[in-house]
A and B are shown apart, each in its own frame.
Chain A
Amino acid sequence: MAELRLEHVYKTYKGNVEAVIDLNLSVRDGEFLALLGPSGCGKTSTLRMIVGLEEITKGKIYIGERVVNNLEPKDRNVALAFETYALYPPLTIRENISFCLRAKNISSEKIERKVNDVASMLGIEDILDRKPGEIGGGQKQRVSLARALVRDPEVLLLDEPLSHLDAAQRAHMRTELKRLHAEIRRTTILVTHDQLEAVAMAERIAVMNFGVLQQVGTFDEVYLNPANEFVAGFVGEPPMNFLICEPKSEGDDLFLIGLDGSFRLKLIPKLRMKVLEKKPKTIKLGIRPIHIEISKTPGQNGKLELPANVFTFEFLGEEGQVVAKVGQQEVLAMTPPSMRLTMNENIWLQMHTEFTYLFDGETGVSLLY
């Protein structure tokens, strides 16, 4: 077990493609961190540099106190469990798991013991004598993990481990991986494009986009205080709604005027101060679907409220979901189990000020920082 630290790490591919730009990140000893971002954000390049499959263009990677830049992959004591399981088809599961140990001159009793230990930890004792072709996707996943863990790595890397399981298996493996980490407390990095996986499993989340680390923090820090529009839109499902508006001062008050004059919101003093300080030309008002309450009548004065019109309403079993038009802009919101809405019905979207976000309309940077 060890801490993992990246200091000013860059990865530039041929033709000046900058995959990773000045990445500073440390993963604590025993921590479970998710590296989250869309495809092409640099997360896999980062992972490959940690493992040693990719040269580091600039910067340093530490595992514990050692700089590992110049170490071969096998000398780094890092284990990688793949998205594609990459199991050897002609070997039994037991042989697949013990393969890397047999290459290392370890006594066969010791190998036997280690394989059995890791197999019982992952609940795959009963399939050890089968071949990869004879087991299911969820089991292959566990075998791939067993093969990584049997080497006793200091850092465990999981590359999109759940992405090609079906929905039910994915939910199950998510639970199991989280539980497993709690039991073994090994430094673990999960690489994923699925925010749900990151949020559900990891202790901290590092969000990347275009090779740049956007924000790193606990779920609360990232979800409740997103640094910018990208993070706000990427973490959370259904995604945050953004409404374009312009700030307008009237006397001592500051209003947000929606595109085409579709709404007019008076800002509370705390938010007014932030806007006056940063002076953005346009503002994106961010509201999470879960923080909107739907009312069929306009509320009393003083509440943040947007007049809207039902575009679609879906009842999804336990609760519902509505897409409403605020002028020309669309807002998605959740509805309680008993509410039914019809198309083109007039509704009012009410919001709590504590869950209202403001971003600079041009740079996307949060105005609340």
Chain B
Amino acid sequence: MAKVKLENITKTFGNVVAVNNLSLEIEDGEFMVLLGPSGAGKTTTLKLISGNETPEKGLIYIGNRIVNPLEPQQRNVAMAFESYALYPHFTVYENLAFPLKAPGRNYSTQQIDNRVKEVAELLNITPLLSRAPAHLSGGQRQRVSLGRALVRDPDILLLDEPISHLDAKLRHRMRAEFKAISSRIKTTILYVTHDYLEAMSLPDRVAIIDHGTLHQVGSPEDVFRRPANIFVASLLGQPKINLIKCRISTEDGKICFTGLNGGVRLLTNDYIRDRVLKTNLDHVIIGIRPFNMIPVDEVHENETIISGKVYVYERLGTRGILTFSVENQNFDLITPISMDFKIDAPVNVKIDVNEIMIFDPTTEKNIFID
């Protein structure tokens, strides 16, 4: 295992800039998730580290070595793919031993045996060693595939959407399973996904990229609670964060946000006021997560309420998603228990003003983050 560092990396394909001046450090032994929508440059970044692509600009370090001029096999990097690609006619043992028998690797039979057993023990697959891949469950196959990547003791393990091809139910299961495995692996891991739940659940830190540009790096909790900009805020959470364009005014020493579409009026606390006044903005974009709004029957004084009309209510198990419209803009909120709503009925929604996010409408940056 080793620290991996990307320094001002740029990679283009024809006119398309896949990775744009990307700098990123993955600590020794760290588990990092690279999160972004398709086309963000995630897989290209992996391939640049593995040596399957060459950057036009910038340096890549693995440990203290600059690896730009090195061939993939000289980099001591292992990659496990979405599809497991195990050799069907080999047993699990033979699949695991295979990378150690490659030309140029002079391991004795005893050394290979020790290493295979060590990795098998780590991944809890010792009882499966004599089986053929066809006789394994999906989860077991994934572990064998990981084992094959780990058996060479790579400096960094690269994983490209390892569970995204599974259906929703299995994915729940495999995510938990992967989490359990990863806590035992001490290797530096870079894991690519477009699924924000994997990015929340698995890593020490998450790096969010889009169009080849890094938007934010931080712990899952940090990027969720303090997103750097609108892109990050919208990527994390389902349903997505609600965004409202507002005009700023002052009223009795308080800051008031008034929705440009009408219907929305938020009075804020002192902390938000001080921060907003510092920016000299006259407009902002307010972000409210669906979890921070709740429909109420009675309206009390000093509560922040948005009034709208029920657009649709979807029950999802014991909770539900209420989509309501205010002056032709739709908002989503999550009800903690399932409720009943009539389409087009009026609804009052209470907002937790302490949980709102505020973005600069031009730069789209979170004004609370420097």
Contact = CB atoms under 8 A, between A and B. Distances in A.
Interface in B258-296: 289, 291
Interface string B189-203: 000000011001110
Interface stretch (B50-58, B151-159, B209-217, B309-317): B309-317
B47 interface: no
A200 interface: yes
Nearest to B225: A317
A182 interface: yes
B120 to A, nearest CB: 20
Contacts of A323: 176, 180
B314 A316 contact: no
B323 interface: yes
B312 A182 contact: yes
Contacts of B180: 311-312, 323, 343
Interface in A334-350: 343
A169 B176 CA distance: 26
B230 to A, nearest CB: 14
Interface in B317-351: 317-319, 321, 323, 330, 343
Nearest to A180: B312
B315 A321 contact: no
A317 B317 contact: no
Interface string B154-182: 00000000000000110010011101100
A44 B172 CA distance: 27
B176 A312 contact: yes
Given A312-B179, A332-B176, A317 B314 contact: no
Which one of A238, A288, A290, A332 has the highest number of Cβ atoms from chain B below 10 Å of its Cβ?
A238
Contact of B221 (A288, A314, A315): A315
A178 interface: yes
Given A315-B201, A321-B176, A332-B172, A167 B238 contact: yes
Contacts of B314: 174-175, 178, 199-201
Task: Pick the 3 closest A-B CB pairs, nearest first.
Answer: A314-B201, A200-B314, A312-B176
Contact of A316 (B177, B201, B323): B201
Contacts of A253: none
A323 B179 CA distance: 11
Contact of A318 (B176, B201, B202, B291): B291
A343 B181 CA distance: 12
Interface of A: 167-168, 171, 174-175, 178-179, 182, 194, 196, 199-201, 219, 223, 236-239, 288, 290-291, 311-312, 314-318, 321, 323, 332, 343
Nearest to A291: B318
A323 B181 CA distance: 13
B204 to A, nearest CB: 12
A194 B168 CA distance: 9
Contacts of B201: 314-316, 321
B316 A199 contact: yes
B176 A314 contact: yes
Contacts, number: 87
Contact of B317 (A175, A182, A237, A332): A237
Interface of B: 168-169, 172, 175-177, 179-180, 183, 196-197, 200-202, 220-221, 224, 236-240, 289, 291, 311-312, 314-319, 321, 323, 330, 343
Given A290-B318, A312-B176, A321-B172, 17 more contacts: A168-B238, A175-B311, A179-B343, A196-B168, A200-B316, A219-B315, A236-B317, A239-B172, A290-B317, A315-B201, A315-B221, A317-B200, A317-B221, A318-B289, A321-B201, A323-B180, A343-B183
Contacts of A237: 168-169, 172, 316-317
A219 B197 CA distance: 26
Nearest to B195: A167
B315 A200 contact: yes
A272 B168 CA distance: 35
Contacts of A223: 317
A109 B168 CA distance: 47
B168 A311 contact: no
Contacts of A200: 314-316, 321
Contacts of B183: 343
19 contacts: A167-B238, A175-B312, A175-B323, A219-B315, A223-B317, A237-B169, A238-B169, A238-B172, A290-B318, A290-B319, A312-B180, A314-B175, A315-B201, A316-B200, A316-B201, A318-B289, A321-B172, A321-B201, A343-B180
Which one of A291, A316, A318 has the highest number of Cβ atoms from chain B below 10 Å of its Cβ?
A316
Nearest to B175: A314
A40 to B, nearest CB: 14
Nearest to A238: B172
Contacts of B237: 317-318
Contact of B220 (A168, A239, A317): A317
B345 to A, nearest CB: 12
A226 B143 CA distance: 34
A102 to B, nearest CB: 34
B184 to A, nearest CB: 10
Nearest to A174: B314
B176 A311 contact: yes
Nearest to A201: B314
A35 B179 CA distance: 35
Contacts of B317: 199, 223, 236-237, 288, 290
